[in-house]
């Protein structure tokens, strides 16, 4: 049975399964909801699992403003071997001798982690999606090029070691990381191994939070569901754009007259409630758009008045 046409805008939290690309999730939602207008705020590698913030129809316009939110990850780092991709999918670049690993103490690990916490300069992984002269870095690496990316500032506000497992082959570290957007956890794994002199790479990664959105509220897309059941369960988990935007930005509750002025772009007629960025909410509780206020001048970032039902 084909899914019914779906037109309402909304934000959906999805728990991505391992092996899927972020685009796989987009394609699956397009099929379930019978709409092409599906996007996500921040890619997860196929190896990784966890939270993807999805926009449906008109709510895709919100995604640009969600990409820069801070994030939380749980990760497992293997000390003792570096790889070409800084994760388990790459080719090994050599193992540290067992006696060298045996000399790495828990205190050494904690000390090295401390150097990777706070405001740091991080060199992204060479297989990142960063563009180098118009082409993705990972594409250049796959073509055999040596890619050297420039360090960039990131913030790692928490890097907590939750467990250390020692084996004959290496040291597995379980960790929780709170970080700014643009932080590469695989690069943290690489740099931790480098600081300890034994090499390191990422073996597991799960994103559990994006800004105020938590994995506990996310939907797992199940291939075994019939189309009508999948559509119903997905629609039931959609978040209203006004509620989603209101978790990120202060809200501006528009009067009826202000609502009309905003819908028609008459910003000179608007008296903003303060300075900064606001989610403008209609008298009926719908998201009309996002506005930016500087020196009492209102600038419309985008207007959803013609897209919300």
DSSP 82-110: EETTSBTTSPEEEE--HHHHHT--HHHHH
Residue among 53, 71, 87 nearest 208 (CA)? 71
CB 11 within 8 A of CB 244: yes
- Distance, in Å, from the CA atom of 105 to the CA atom of 97, rounded to the nearest integer, reads 15
**C-alpha gyration radius of the chain:** 23
What's the start-to-end Cα distance of the chain, in Å? Answer: 26
Q: Where are the beta strands (DSSP E) in 138-187?
A: 152-166, 171-179
Residue 108 bears catalytic tag: no
CB 88 within 8 A of CB 47: yes
Of the candidates 86, 14, 76, the one whose C-alpha atom is nearest the C-alpha of residue 205 is: 76
10 Å CB burial of residue 132 (0-12, 13-18, 19+) is middle
What is the C-alpha to C-alpha distance for residues 304 and 309, in angstroms, rounded to an integer? 10
Q: Which two tokens stand for residue 280?
A: 């403008």
- Tokens for 254, please give them: 């528009």
The three-point CA angle 69-71-77 to 5° equals 150
Token pair of 155 as six digits: 């913030």
- DSSP bridge pairs for 200: 79
Q: Which residue in the list 45, 86, 87, 259 is annotated as catalytic?
A: 45
- Catalytic residues, by residue number, are 45
């Amino acid at each position: 049975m084909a899914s019914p046409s779906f037109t309402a805008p909304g934000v959906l939290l999805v728990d991505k399964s391992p092996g899927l690309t972020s685009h796989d999730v987009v394609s699956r939602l397009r099929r379930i909801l019978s709409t092409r207008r599906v996007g996500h705020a921040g890619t997860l590698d196929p190896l990784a699992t966890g939270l993807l913030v999805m926009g449906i129809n008109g709510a895709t316009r919100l995604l640009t403003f969600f990409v820069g939110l801070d994030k939380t990850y749980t990760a497992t780092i293997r000390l003792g071997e570096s790889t070409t991709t800084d994760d388990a999918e790459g080719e090994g670049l050599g193992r540290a001798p067992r006696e060298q690993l045996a000399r790495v103490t828990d205190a050494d690990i904690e000390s090295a982690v401390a150097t990777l916490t706070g405001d740091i300069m991080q060199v992204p992984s060479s297989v990142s999606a960063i563009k180098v002269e118009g082409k993705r870095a990972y594409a250049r690496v796959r073509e055999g090029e040596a890619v050297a990316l420039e360090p960039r500032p990131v913030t790692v506000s928490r890097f907590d070691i939750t467990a250390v497992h020692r084996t004959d082959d290496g040291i597995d570290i379980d960790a929780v990381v709170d970080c700014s957007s643009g932080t590469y956890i695989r690069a943290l794994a690489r740099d931790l191994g480098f600081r300890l002199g034994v090499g390191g790479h990422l073996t597991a990664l799960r994103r559990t939070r994006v800004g105020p959105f938590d994995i506990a509220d996310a939907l797992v897309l199940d291939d075994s569901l019939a189309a009508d059941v999948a559509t119903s369960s997905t629609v039931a988990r959609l978040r209203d754009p006004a509620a989603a935007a209101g978790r990120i930005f202060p809200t501006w509750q528009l009067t009826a007259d202000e609502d009309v002025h905003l819908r028609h772009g008459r910003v000179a007629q608007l008296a903003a409630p303060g300075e900064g960025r606001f989610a403008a909410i209609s008298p009926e509780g719908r998201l009309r758009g996002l506005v930016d206020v500087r020196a009492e001048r209102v600038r419309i970032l985008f207007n959803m008045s013609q897209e919300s039902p």
